[in-house]
Amino acid sequence: MTNRNRIGLTWISFFSYALTGALVIVTGMVMGNIAEYFQLPISQMSNTFTFLNAGILVAIFLNAWLMEIIPLKRQLIFGFVLMILAVAGLMTSHSLSVFSLCMFVLGVVSGITMSIGTFLITHLYEGRQRGSRLLFTDSFFSMAGTIFPIIAGVLLARHLPWYWVYACIGLIYVAIFILTLNVEFPALGQKAQSDKPLVKEKWGIGVLFLSIAALCYILGQLGFISWVPEYATKTMGMDIVSAGQLVGNFWTAYMVGMWVFSFVLRFFDLQRILMVLAGLATLLMYWFVKTSDAAMLKWIIMILGFSSSAIYTTIITLGSLQTKVSSPKLVNFILTCGTVGTMLTFVVTGPIVAQGGAHAALATSNALYAVVFVMCILLGMVTRHRSHGHVMH
């Protein structure tokens, strides 16, 4: 593979994460305007965004198999057509059912590109370099989540219709489409096997531990960050601006952490650093939940954001290193488990908050982080990443 081709495929991976980050994180900015547009209460409108998450989940789950049947280039070109149709549907229709369908299609497009982007990184890079590259790729999710709410704010402040925000997000896919036309993709499935016979490898119990860790981590993280403003205002007596700032501090520290760990990870054994970070994150969240000093919350949440930023991508990286040849099915399986965590966020935390308030939801998230830590310890006994010659790179 030429260096130019490798760079092109790597940038497709970067943009695929940026696309998903923009679509998911911009929701909170535009929801009020969309509710007004359809003349619906905002609580009812928020339910329709479940179609976006459902689309992402379905696409990631199915693409584990489809990647070996439909060439990656064809999938991305088809995704570009779907993106145009979805944005056109949002711009021209006043029907809530069409809006829900378009959201589902955007989710599908996002899930397809994200699963391809993740696979490309695990295919192009080995060992610790794979971990640092995947972490750097994931930082584009946070970057888009920082940039696109600002773009949305500017557009809405100028009284432009909300659907122009999605048209701007569509420009990310234009970049993916242009790159797709100019690079060659690795062959999978039958084509790959015709070149050299592929030995089927058993995944091993380590993949089960990593899958549970991925689900619990995402569910714990989103459950925590979703209820921090409620907890800060109702329990700790902070004003709404300060409570919102806590969430901002978390994501800023998270993004900085990704950049730092993308270099640091190369010098440590991935399983051991994952265990340390998961343990540290669990202790920091416990401190956040237990402290009665509101002034401390800002500092605790920043350290928590920084130290937990490498956990999810390291879980995915270690999963891809459990077999000698990175398997798209294995990588997508762990990604799917993480996405299930996203889907379950309000299903799990909603009733807990109704019964015991926001503090109970934060304590539940802390327990989920503890499960991640236990899974990392168990993984240390069975992991195969060292025996596959992936230790030093």
What's the pLDDT at 108? 95
Predicted TM-score (pTM) of this structure: 0.77
CATH architecture, range 205-382: Up-down Bundle (1.20)
Q: Mean pLDDT of all residues in the chain?
A: 86
318: three-class secondary structure by DSSP: helix
- Asked whether residue 228 carries a pLDDT value surpassing 70, the answer given is yes
- Asked whether residue 232 carries a pLDDT value surpassing 70, the answer given is yes
Helix H segments across 38-162?
Answer: 42-48, 50-66, 72-92, 96-124, 127-157
**Confidence tier at 60 by pLDDT (50, 70, 90):** confident
Q: How many residues does the chain have?
A: 393
What's the pLDDT at 388? 56
User: From residue 94, how far is each of 34, 42, 97, 253, 305 by CA, in Å?
Assistant: 11, 17, 9, 40, 40
d(CA 106, CA 98): 12
- Asked whether residue 389 carries a pLDDT value surpassing 70, the answer given is no
Give the residue, 198 or 59, on which the prediction is more confident. Answer: 59
What's the pLDDT at 393? 36
CATH superfamily of 3-195: MFS general substrate transporter like domains (1.20.1250.20)
Q: Do domains 3-195 and 205-382 have the same CATH topology?
A: yes
What's the pLDDT at 101? 95
Least confident of 280-294, 300-314, 334-348: 334-348
For the residues 53-62, what does the mean pLDDT come to? 88
DSSP code of 201? -
What's the pLDDT at 46? 66
User: From residue 218, how far is each of 116, 212, 325 by CA, in Å?
Assistant: 20, 10, 26
Q: Which residues contact 145 (CB under 8 A, 6 or more apart)?
A: 21, 22, 24, 25, 251
Domain extents in the chain: 3-195, 205-382
End-to-end CA distance of the chain: 19
By CB atoms closer than 10 A (0-12, 13-18, 19+), residue 353 is buried
**Confidence tier at 390 by pLDDT (50, 70, 90):** very low
Highest mean pLDDT range out of 164-168, 263-267, 336-340?
A: 164-168
pLDDT, tens digit, for every residue of 205-224? 999 999 999 999 999 998 89
